[in-house]
Amino acid sequence: MIDSGEDKKRGGGSPTPVRPERLRGPVEFVGRAAELAQLRRLVATPPCLILLEGEPGIGKSRLVAELLAELPGRHLVGECDDVPEPFPLGVLLDAIRGSADRLGPLNPVAGALAPLLPELVDVLPDAPPPLTDPAAERHRLLRAVAAVLAALSPATLLLEDLHWADPATCELLAYLSTHPVEGLAVVLTARTATPGSSTPIHDALARTPPWSVTRVALGPLDAADVRRLAARTLRLDDPPQQLTATLLDRTAGIPFVVEEVLRTLAERGGDPLADDSVPFVLRDVLLWRLRPLDEATREVLGAAAVLGMTPDQRILASVLSLDRVAIGAALTAAHRAGLLHDAGDGLRFRHDLARQVVYDLVPRESREWLHLRVARVLEQELPRPVAQLAHHYRRAGSGADFVRNAEAAADLATERGDDATAASFLLQTMDIAELPRPVRVRLAAKLGRSAIDGLSQAEAIPVLERLLADRRLPPGARGELGLVLGRMLRQQGEALRGYTEIERAVPYLRAPRRKAPALAVLAAPDTVVGRHVDDHLARCAEAETAAAASGDPAAHLAVRIARASLLLELGDPAAWAIISELRASADLADRPREHARACLNWAQGALHAGHPEQAEALLAAGRELVDETGYERLASLVEATELSLDRAAGRLDGLAERLGRLVTNAERMPVTLLDARAELATVLALVAGTGHGGTAEGRNEHGGTAKGRNDLRSTAGRGDDVEVAERALRDVVADARRVGAIWPLVQALSALARLLLVDRPDEAVRHAAEALSLVRGKGVLAWAAEAVLVLAEAAAATGEPARAASAVAELEAGIADREAPLALAALRRCREFVPA
């Protein structure tokens, strides 16, 4: 069953590449003094969150073991396992489970853990009633874990091998990074993400503020450390320099590999420099240990490698048609040979690299047969382990069976609210070439729904684009997939591409309940260039007709929300009546996510028009709803809206730093990023203009009081640097043009015109004229108020105010009979420079 590997070596080729996992550093602790000192300093001043990173075998676990050995106080330790479908929060629950006797009084929210920790039922509060919203339930669970950790603190929480962590654990750790538990030092170990790939824990922590996580990277051992390790292992007082050079050349200084090579050399004896097994270190070690095993044992070991890290003897017996006694004897022989070890709950591979090497030695045809046999045995289990079945059927080359089980696994994940896992399974199905088109379309639609609010959008978008490029795609599928793709593109910040995809999809959406919300998206005026407000009004009317035909309350609600947003941007007072009616309705109250999103969109519209008090109230309502539902994707939108409101209201102290942090982390919701960058660049321009003789003095509606701006300049550090502000604004202009996002484009052009007005008036006029032209094409003249004011000031400065007369008159006509306080204030200023 297992090839010896000698034929591959004689052929001159490299051994089959291995995927090292579960490696541990050297027994001798060498070469980590600086990193250990750094960990000591960090852990001594909790709260803190530390991510210890490095490639497999680099010594992460050995380092934290050294840290904990000398660290006083309480230690909570958990270790992730490499399983296809890890239990949500399992590693954290394991860390908590052994500390029941140390728990004091607990926050009632901790009762949410009672169903997951039945052994602690006497210690935990009663479980609260279930919530109907899966996101809210998940958020409450995160708070429950945090509450228990708070009760156990002061403590050190060590979680190992987080590259295998489940999405819920990653979400909690991201939550702890920004909501630290007093007295808790969190130490995580994970493999460094390889170029072009990532892991859920790296994705989660990448979306947290940079200051919230301290990353400690472990590199290979240097020559001095390798020499010291060789001296201790081989009991040499003065190892030859050539030995050190050879070890470094052949092991890259990875501690585990160095240790395995040295241990093998010590076992074999002889001249270590003459041992040609070193270049293929671990493969040779495994071959050495496999050598004394008979064929029957190798057959069982090969099947065990196919089954996983901890082979189940019962399943192995069924797969190989052997009795349990024979299976047990074979595994015991492998244990004696050093290929398996006793983990306390049964024999398992010493590390997954050992399993992988054994796996690679099984001929490909035999591996596929074994995977198929394992899958057939697992099919008899109840409930069916669909995630494991998907894995084995895929390795067996049985595409149809793989797709069937991957879809079932994705459906189960969706039911649990775990969209990330669902999207992962569904993305894998897209790689099956022989997938029938109807099945591919069905799975792609599910992929779109699971990825729309998750972390898999970047991977899902090209899949949907390839499907939509197929001219044979059925019309209904083209509409559904186009709508999902358009929504994803918009959320990724690709405003015009997303808008265009939805426009293309609408004619193919036959069902009114699907067409109405798609048209409602197209009614939003503040997203794209090249569409006049009359187009948005027409889309809104079509959406209302479709919603009425559908009889679907959800469709009707989406259209009413869009109508209110559109009227708000137009300065139509009817918007407020619709908003009041909707906020008082049960339809919106029963949909907290839609309610939160609507409040935040309306708050932004109120800011655009110049209604700060109403915007403040809507923002407060939206923030409360986001907190209640735990809807992480809206957190950035809440913060961005709050910062925009602070700028409009003149609350400028520390605003640049806050905006900078949001820009750094806005990848949590890419659609927020460009608006946040435009806000930051505008603030920098205001401050630079104030210190540069700008004329914005005292105009509260254009950036706050002069005192506020001077305060901001002192806190922003580089706020008085005109070049920095100009560069930031030009970057926003370029990116907004590229993606076709009109609101940040107009905002940045107007701010750039204001910044350059004194020193480069001609250039300022060009930017202001471009902003006015864009707004003219949109038809919402209130948006051009600042640009027109710049034109008026520039004309007056040259002694030719009549040059701006037509622009001022156009603004006046455009906002007549409109509720646009911001634009009206700007118009009054314009008339000081350009009388009627």
Which DSSP string corresponds to 265-332?
HHHH-S-GGG-TTGGGHHHHHHHHHHTTS-HHHHHHHHHHHHH-SS--HHHHHHHHT--HHHHHHHHH
pLDDT at 707: 33
In contact, 87 and 97? CB cutoff 8 Å: no
Identify whether 154 is preceded by a cis peptide bond (ω within 30 of 0): yes
In contact, 211 and 177? CB cutoff 8 Å: no
pLDDT at 249: 64
Measured CA angle at 207 (ends 205, 212), to 5 deg: 60
- The dihedral built from the CA positions of residue 792, 794, 799 and 800, taken in this order, carries a sign that is negative
Structure tokens at 95: 């860390």
pLDDT at 196: 46
Q: Which of 511, 508, 507, 458 is nearest to 485 (CA)?
A: 458
pLDDT at 351: 59
Q: Mind listing the pLDDT tens digit for each residue in 280-295? A: 456 766 677 788 899 9
pLDDT class of 702 with cuts at 50, 70, 90: very low
Amino acid identity of 381?
E
- pLDDT, average across residues 134-158: 86
Per DSSP, the three-state class of 133 is coil
Residue with the two structure tokens 């097994």: 277
Read off φ and ψ for residue 52, nearest 5 degrees.
-95, 115
Beta bridge pairs of residue 74: 155
CB proximity list for 341: less than 8 A, separation 6 or greater: 335, 347, 348, 349, 350
Average pLDDT, the chain: 83
Residue 194 backbone class (left: φ over 0; alpha: ψ -120 to 50; beta: rest): beta
pLDDT at 272: 55
Length of the chain: 836
- The dihedral built from the CA positions of residue 498, 503, 508 and 510, taken in this order, carries a sign that is positive
pLDDT at 502: 96
Q: What is the rounded distance in angstroms from the CA atom of residue 373 to the CA atom of residue 376? A: 5
Per DSSP, the three-state class of 347 is strand
Please indicate whether residue 250 or residue 127 has the higher confidence score (pLDDT).
127
Burial class (CB in 10 A: 0-12, 13-18, 19+), 719: buried
Residue with the two structure tokens 């296809």: 84
Q: Mind listing the pLDDT tens digit for each residue in 60-92? A: 888 998 898 888 888 889 888 877 777 888 888
In contact, 21 and 211? CB cutoff 8 Å: no
Q: Mind listing the pLDDT tens digit for each residue in 401-442? A: 999 999 999 999 888 877 778 888 998 998 888 889 889 888
CB proximity list for 488: less than 8 A, separation 6 or greater: 448, 451, 452, 457, 460, 461, 464, 498
Count of C-beta atoms within a 10 Å radius of residue 227: 22
Please indicate whether residue 219 or residue 263 has the higher confidence score (pLDDT).
219
Q: What is the rounded distance in angstroms from the CA atom of residue 312 to the CA atom of residue 307? A: 8
pLDDT at 258: 76
Q: What is the rounded distance in angstroms from the CA atom of residue 615 to the CA atom of residue 829? A: 24
pLDDT higher than threshold 50 for residue 700: no
Please indicate whether residue 301 or residue 145 has the higher confidence score (pLDDT).
301
pLDDT higher than threshold 80 for residue 240: no
Measured CA angle at 495 (ends 493, 498), to 5 deg: 100
Beta bridge pairs of residue 342: 347
Question: How far is the CA of 18 from the CAs of 280, 307, 316, 356, in angstroms?
Answer: 11, 17, 24, 6
- pLDDT, average across residues 760-787: 96
Q: Which of 776, 827, 819 is nearest to 569 (CA)?
A: 819
pLDDT at 659: 84
CB proximity list for 241: less than 8 A, separation 6 or greater: 227
Q: What is the rounded distance in angstroms from the CA atom of residue 124 to the CA atom of residue 105? A: 9
pLDDT at 703: 40
Q: Which of 220, 163, 153 is nearest to 188 (CA)?
A: 163
Q: Would you give the distance in Å from CA 621 to the centre of its chain?
A: 26
Read off φ and ψ for residue 528, nearest 5 degrees.
-130, 150
Q: What is the rounded distance in angstroms from the CA atom of residue 28 to the CA atom of residue 13? A: 34
HSE (side-chain half, CA atoms, 13 Å) at 524: 25
pTM over 0.75: no
Per DSSP, the three-state class of 348 is strand
CB proximity list for 295: less than 8 A, separation 6 or greater: 1
The DSSP secondary-structure symbol of 164 reads G
Burial class (CB in 10 A: 0-12, 13-18, 19+), 132: exposed
Q: Would you give the distance in Å from CA 437 to the centre of its chain?
A: 30
Q: Which of 635, 560, 634, 648 is nearest to 606 (CA)?
A: 648
Q: Mind listing the pLDDT tens digit for each residue in 617-656? A: 999 999 999 888 777 667 888 888 998 898 888 787 888 8
Q: Mind listing the pLDDT tens digit for each residue in 511-553? A: 999 999 999 999 988 778 999 999 999 999 999 999 999 999 9
Q: Mind listing the pLDDT tens digit for each residue in 718-733? A: 345 788 899 999 999 9
Q: Which of 321, 354, 361 is nearest to 340 (CA)?
A: 354
Q: What is the rounded distance in angstroms from the CA atom of residue 229 to the CA atom of residue 232? A: 5
Q: What is the DSSP string of 620-684?
A: HHHHHHHHHHT-GGGHHHHHHHHHHHHHHHT--TTHHHHHHHHHHHGGGSHHHHHHHHHHHHHHH
CB proximity list for 485: less than 8 A, separation 6 or greater: 448, 461, 464, 465, 468, 498, 501, 505
pLDDT higher than threshold 50 for residue 692: no
Q: Which of 817, 755, 742 is nearest to 784 (CA)?
A: 742
CB proximity list for 131: less than 8 A, separation 6 or greater: 137, 140
